[in-house]
Structure 1
Amino acid sequence: MLYILVFFAGLFSGFLNVIAGGGSLITLPVLNLLGLPINIANGTNRIGIIFQNITATTKFRKNDVLDLKRAAFLAIPSTLGAIVGANIVVNIDKALLKSIVGIILIIMSIFLVWKPDIWTKERKVKKNNILSFVVFFLIGIYGGFIQAGVGFFLMSALVLLEGYDLVKTNAVKVFLVLIYTLFAFAIFAYNKQVNYLAGLVLALGSISGGYLGSSFSIKKGSKWIQRILFVILIIIGIYYIFNALNR
């Protein structure tokens, strides 16, 4: 029965991660219900993330939405950051970190409404490779050791620094997450922090979710993604803050 729950958690998480982010906030608690310690759940969760993003990247690439050349460049700093993040023990208080992330997500949701055209229309921007390298390296570190919510930060950077609309942003985002998660997963696997049976069930659901999410993103376009993103940012931002305050 619990494995059925893991499958559907993977499906919903895959859909959510591709169009916005925050899917790991669903899968991690469900994996905990199986009795997996948080470190094992964290490593196992990466299997679902890999498969949902393989599916989504293939779909975006097939529909000529993915800017592969730029995505390949941005994958370098984000992957290096993820390797660092997966290897380090974070010294910052976890409750404080969750509060900070929650506040940032809510601020992002306000900006989403205040400047809607930035998110829904592709813009020509002068790309600063050094700034992008630093920003995506830092986001990679966060993704390497936490993962949950990293999609929101990637989307913000891709819109503000790279000038993509939300559809192309999602295409590049899932490619970046796929590449750096492969390396992060290898570290978790090496340290025997993966439950492969649970990961397989999660992957099956995640493949379906990734396909549905990428199809929705391509079909509905930036405005629908913007609406969903706004709601998710508010909900997860508040969740992070209350979760931190109650510990």
Structure 2
Amino acid sequence: MLYILVFLAGLFSGFINVIAGGGSLITLPVLNLLGLPIDVANGTNRIGIIFQNITATTKFRKNDVLDLKRAIFLAIPATLGALVGANIVVNIDKALLKSIVGFILIIMSIFLVKKPDLWTKERKVKRNNIISFVVFFLIGIYGGFIQAGVGFFLMSALVLLEGYDLVKTNAIKVFLVLIYTLFAFIVFAVNDQVNYIAGFVLALGSISGGYLGSTFSIKKGAKWIQRVLFIVLIIIGIYYIYNALTK
């Protein structure tokens, strides 16, 4: 019964992750419920993330919405950052970190409503490779040790620094998460923090969710992604703040 729950969690999180982000806030508690320690749940969760993003990246690539050349460039700093994040112990109060992230996400949701065209229309921006390298490296560190919510930060950087609309942003986002998660997963596997049975059950659901999410993204376009993103940002932002204040 619990494995059915893991599959369904993978299905829903795969859909949400591809469109917006925050799916790990669903899968991590479910893996905990299965009896996995939080460190093992964190490592096991990466299996589902890998497979959902393989599916989504393939779909985006077939529909010619993935800027692969730029995505490969941005994957380098994100992967380097993720390796750092997966290897270090972060000396920061977790409640404080969750509060900060929660407030940032809510501010982003307000910005999403106030400046809708910024997110739904592709723009020509003067890209600065050095700034992009640093920003995506820092986001990679966050993704390496926390993962949950990293999609929101990737999407913000891709829209504001790179000038992509939300459809192309989603395509590059899932590619970046796929690449750096592959390398981060090795760290968890080497440290024996992966339950492979639970991970592959999760992956089965994530593959289906990733396919549905990428299909929805391509067919519905940036406006629909913006609406889903706004709802998820508010929910996850409140969750982070509540979770921080009650611990």
**Which TM bucket (shorter chain)?**
over 0.9
User: Residue 93 of structure 1 corresponds to which residue in structure 2?
Assistant: 93
Q: CA RMSD in A?
A: 0.3
State the alpha-carbon separation in 1 of the partners of residues 168 and 41 from structure 2: 30
User: Residue 14 of structure 1 corresponds to which residue in structure 2?
Assistant: 14
Superposed counterparts of 1:145-160, under 5 Å: 145-160=145-160
State the alpha-carbon separation in 2 of the partners of residues 93 and 37 from structure 1: 20
User: Residue 142 of structure 2 corresponds to which residue in structure 1?
Assistant: 142
Which blocks of at least 5 consecutive residues in structure 1 are unaligned?
Answer: none
Matched, 1:50 2:50: yes
Q: Structure 1 stretches (4+) deviating beyond 3 angstroms?
A: none
Matched, 1:173 2:173: yes
User: Residue 232 of structure 1 corresponds to which residue in structure 2?
Assistant: 232
State the alpha-carbon separation in 1 of the partners of residues 150 and 123 from structure 2: 23
The residue identity in structure 1 corresponding to 2:190 is: Y
State the alpha-carbon separation in 2 of the partners of residues 58 and 233 from structure 1: 26
State the alpha-carbon separation in 1 of the partners of residues 9 and 33 from structure 2: 12
Which blocks of at least 5 consecutive residues in structure 2 are unaligned?
Answer: none
User: Residue 24 of structure 2 corresponds to which residue in structure 1?
Assistant: 24
Normalising by structure 1, what TM-score?
A: 1.00
The residue identity in structure 2 corresponding to 1:95 is: A
Superposed counterparts of 1:96-115, under 5 Å: 96-115=96-115
CA deviations over 1:28-71 (Å, ceiling 9, x no partner): 00000010000000000000000000000000000000000000
User: Residue 209 of structure 1 corresponds to which residue in structure 2?
Assistant: 209
CA deviations over 1:64-114 (Å, ceiling 9, x no partner): 000000000000000000000000001001000000000000000010011
1:218 Cα offset (Å): 0.1
1:215 Cα offset (Å): 0.1
Superposed counterparts of 1:30-41, under 5 Å: 30-41=30-41
Normalising by structure 2, what TM-score?
A: 1.00
The residue identity in structure 2 corresponding to 1:245 is: L
The residue identity in structure 2 corresponding to 1:68 is: L
State the alpha-carbon separation in 2 of the partners of residues 131 and 113 from structure 1: 26
Aligned to 1:65, what secondary structure does the other structure show? coil
State the alpha-carbon separation in 2 of the partners of residues 92 and 228 from structure 1: 31
The residue identity in structure 1 corresponding to 2:21 is: G
CA deviations over 1:114-154 (Å, ceiling 9, x no partner): 11000000000010000000000000000000000000000
The residue identity in structure 2 corresponding to 1:26 is: I
State the alpha-carbon separation in 2 of the partners of residues 236 and 200 from structure 1: 26
The residue identity in structure 2 corresponding to 1:97 is: L
The residue identity in structure 2 corresponding to 1:221 is: G
User: Residue 218 of structure 2 corresponds to which residue in structure 1?
Assistant: 218
Aligned to 2:185, what secondary structure does the other structure show? helix
The residue identity in structure 1 corresponding to 2:193 is: Q
1:161 Cα offset (Å): 0.3
